Amino acid sequence: MAERCPLCLGALSSADALIRFCPCHPNLTDRFLVTPENYRRIFCQHPQCNDLLTIARQTFLLHEGCESQNPFWKNGQVIVPPQVQWTDKDDRVHLVKHWELALLEQIAEKYPGRREMWFPALLFRAANRDRETSRVGTLVKLSGARNVGKTTLAVMALNPWSYACGERTPDLGHIQSDHFVYAFNERLAQPETVFAQALEPSWLFLRAETTQQWTYPTSRLIKANVRAVFVRPKESMASLPTASRDEINPMSLLWRTFKRATMGPYIAVPDGESHPPPSHSAVVFLDTAGEENEDPYSVKLGTLEECVDVIAVTLDATHLSHFSGRTSFDARMSIPVAVQRIKSIATKRARRCLIVTKVDLVSGGLQPLEKEYVSKIAQDGNLHPDCDKQMLLAWLAEGDSKEKELAALVSGEAVHKVFFIWTEGLGVLGGDPPRAIGLLRFVAWCLNEGA
């Protein structure tokens, strides 16, 4: 059977056990060893289950002995409050009520003493290749220096507003999205606050509210925070125009990929049996601390990079000397860190891409043709697959020696793809929530290995 726990990323063998809980059928719990024959037991055994559209109503699993701990476990007991509240350094009170809290509370009635964290069975399927021809999901490791925008990217990927495809509100767009978040810091006295801070953006997106601070620093003590986005294209996507031969339309690509992944009968690899097709495709972001990424000898990063499908190295557009001049490297850390990370991942099995963030902050310095490309990205329109790469290479060509080194890596085999992804409306209070731009192309690429 499948091989990895999606939270601790540890390999699972037939000596490991999973526990299953279905929020719709809480009496049908199960505990089983991780063997191919037991694969069917990750699904709820009720005949009318596993076809629901919200993750909150689907089956959840727990990996016995998992090092990823339930944030509400304390002194042998799980006690989940209906909401979590904290006061920030500016004395503002934050309050988060999220379906994950309600779910953990419901499960705690059944399993009050379990220390491990629960996760959606769909996340388990995403982390493990349960079918050869198409995948339920993709694990993405975000790499890059501090403050380059890694956490913002993962947070905005969970934002339904980022998938509105040019429409004003998520409901009008072509994609339904759902999510699952896990963040933990055992050294802090308040792991529940760390968890709630990670949940807060999703709670705000649903209510179309804004905040001053969307991200908090990621702890170096744990392997990675997990943010999974589950996307489900609406039928309206079937009628989208297809792109010309040398261009790609991200929405059409996502639609085709999703159709292939959900086409029945769904025969899973581990047991060769027919199972319910996945309700969504998942892209799972593993977010690590910037300090970890700046450490060229990090063992933790090396192990993480072995088990993901995509490694995304991030670069801050404002650090390019084309826009900012040749200021000191201390102020432009994302360049040397990107060079170092790309070199160290060049031989990994994972697909590798470079993501250029904060493009909104350099838009004043763009040439007319570059402006045109950037606005096409913003509309999720048809684009030549390499236009981001060509633009980046042109900028790097004018740069210093580190930027030239980066250019050589980007042109070679070490980097498969370049994406411009940025977030607009981050500092704006009171208006619509911020949204990521250019994200759909990345999500479609992650899910489609051929793209």
Ligand X SMILES: Nc1nc2c(ncn2[C@@H]2O[C@H](COP(=O)(O)OP(=O)(O)O)[C@@H](O)[C@H]2O)c(=O)[nH]1
Look at residue 360 and give the partner it binds from ligand X, Mg ion, Zn ion, none, a contact being a CB closer than 5 to 8 Å depending on partner kind.
ligand X
| Touching ligand X, residues 385-424 (CB under 6 A) | 422-423
Q: Does 218 bind Mg ion (CB under 5 A)?
A: yes
Which of 59/218 has CB closer to Mg ion? Answer: 218
Q: Which of 3, 64, 67, 360 binds ligand X (CB under 6 A)?
A: 360
Least CB distance from residue 318 to ligand X, whole Å?
A: 9
As a whole number of angstroms, the distance between CA 161 and CA 167 comes to 9
Number of residues this chain uses to bind Zn ion (CB under 5 A): 11
Q: Is residue 291 near ligand X by the rule CB under 6 A?
A: no
Single out the residue of 290, 336, 399, 433 in contact with ligand X (rule: CB under 6 A): 290
Interface with ligand X, residue 358, by CB under 6 A: yes
122 binds Zn ion (CB under 5 A): no
Q: Does 224 bind Zn ion (CB under 5 A)?
A: no
Burial of 219 (0-12, 13-18, 19+ CB in 10 A): buried
Name every residue whose Cβ is closer than 8 Å to that of residue 306 and which is 6 or more positions away in sequence.
Answer: 348, 349
The item of Mg ion, ligand X, Zn ion, none sharing an interface with residue 147, based on CB under 5 to 8 Å by kind, is ligand X
Indicate which single residue of 176, 185, 215, 448 sits in contact with ligand X (rule: CB under 6 A). Answer: 215
Q: Does 5 bind Zn ion (CB under 5 A)?
A: yes
CB of 180 to Zn ion, least distance (A): 14
Q: Which of 31, 46, 168, 343 binds Zn ion (CB under 5 A)?
A: 46
* Binding piece for Mg ion, criterion CB under 5 A, among 8-16, 29-37, 213-221, 329-337: 213-221
Q: Does 151 bind Mg ion (CB under 5 A)?
A: yes
Please say whether the beta carbons of 428 and 399 come within 8 A: no
Question: Where do contacts with Mg ion occur on this chain (CB under 5 A)?
Answer: 150-151, 218
